[in-house]
Amino acid sequence: MAHYAVVNPATGSVVKEYPTIGDADLDSALARAHAALGPWGRGTTVAERAEIIRRVGQLHEQRKLELGEIIAREMGKPVEQGVGEVEFSAAIYEYYADNAETFLADEPIELLAGEGTAIIRRSPVGVLLGIMPWNFPYYQVARFAGPNLIIGNTVLLKHAGQCPESAAAIEQIFHDAGAPADAYINIYATNDQVSTLIADPRVQGISLTGSDRAGAAVAEQAGRHLKKVVLELGGSDPFILLGTDDMDAVVEAAVFARMDNAGQVCNGGKRFIVIEHLYDEFVEKFTAAVTGMQYGDPSAEGTAYGPMSSATAADNLEAQVARATAEGAVLVGGKREGNFVQGGVLMNVDPSNSAYGEEFFGPIAQVYKAADEAEAVRIANDTKYGLGSYLYTNDPEQADRVADQIEAGMVYVNCVGADGVELPFGGVKASGFGRELGRYGMEEFVNKKLIRVNA
């Protein structure tokens, strides 16, 4: 099978294969992106670039049903949820179009000595390489390409091997919106070709969303060639329940945190850590809800969740569960049918179990009992990851105290699914570094140039 292909995970059928780019064509694409820096990054204003990105968002809205149908057959997301992803992507483009001039305005610095002026001027750094994942094919591109194109950088976009159709559709939208063909170029590149691009001096930055293994490989290569990188990697996010007056609402939030996108969300809740006196009630209700949730055809209206993104993804999850249960964990639910996996709950996972330190990228939750607040925080932080986290409590002082102790890039208190275009996204530890979205998403790939003028 080709490196890039649409393989419908619901049926296993190969819909279409796409040829990988040749080395000569790849070098030509890089040369064109590099040559476009002048006319795009310096030959247009921030306002002009922002209006093109605004149009990109509008075209996403106009084509959202078509785009949702594409990823349903690429990676199994129900069409309605795919449409929701497209709508969020459109909002990202609009947000940066609305705020770019403010975010990129010259920033004066008050001099402590001497006369004259000093400012920081934000300008493009050059060609950027984006390496995107399959789980949110439109959203991931939006939060990388939108702000960076407005800055004046140019983009080579290498999407996941199973997302060639959505990758082509995104490129078409950028060009239909008025972005020069050489400012945004979709490339069907291999990993070896990605390494070649990272080594090339014309590439000035790399953004990757993916596994911690992929992030380590890219960071190593980028460091060798002195390239800036932004990495959004895996997560094993804790969902901590310390107190509530409405258990049903907490369970509903917990189910969404684990089952959204068939559990294939980097910052989805994966480890549910429950204070002892609430543990039995939570486990009973949560297990019933997760195991009772019905998967189905992603193209059908009202489907709760679809298949795993691929046979490989389902195989990997099945192997993780098998190891965990062989090492003493107890599984409720989690049955597999083709690439569809029933929601499941793992209990009795102790630190000696391999599952304790792994990210489960699928609809399988782990549940832990904590004797008190301190133990809950210890379990939450006892992971190599540090992307997001969720905390439920009806004590405001406890909320502030515990949120401050959680080792993660994001803490959501008494809410799930509260991401916003204005809120920075990113992690610490093995979950990567750098931020996307919000103002901070426009601060990663800019030259913060000092201009000091004497009186």
Give the active site residues: 232, 266
* Cβ proximity of 427 and 419 under 8 Å: no
Structure-block tokens of residue 280: 């039995």
Query: Helical H runs in 104-211?
Result: 139-151, 164-176, 191-199
* CA dist., res. 317 & res. 313, Å (int): 6
Largest separation between any pair of C-alpha atoms in the chain: 74
Distances (CA, A) of 250 to 46, 112, 146, 242, 289: 44, 53, 35, 11, 12
- Report the C-alpha gap between 197 and 154 in whole angstroms: 14
Give dist(CA 256, CA 249) in Å, integer.
11
In sequence order, what are the beta bridge partners of 207? 130, 230
Q: Which amino acid is at 358?
A: E
**Burial zone of 365 (CB within 10 Å; 0-12 exposed, 13-18 middle, 19+ buried):** buried
Count of H helices and E strands in the chain?
14, 20
Which residue type, as a one-letter code, is found at position 400? D
- Let me know how long the chain is: 455
Spacing of C-alpha 291 from chain mean position: 26
User: What is the SS3 assignment for 399?
Assistant: helix
Amino acid at the residue 68: G
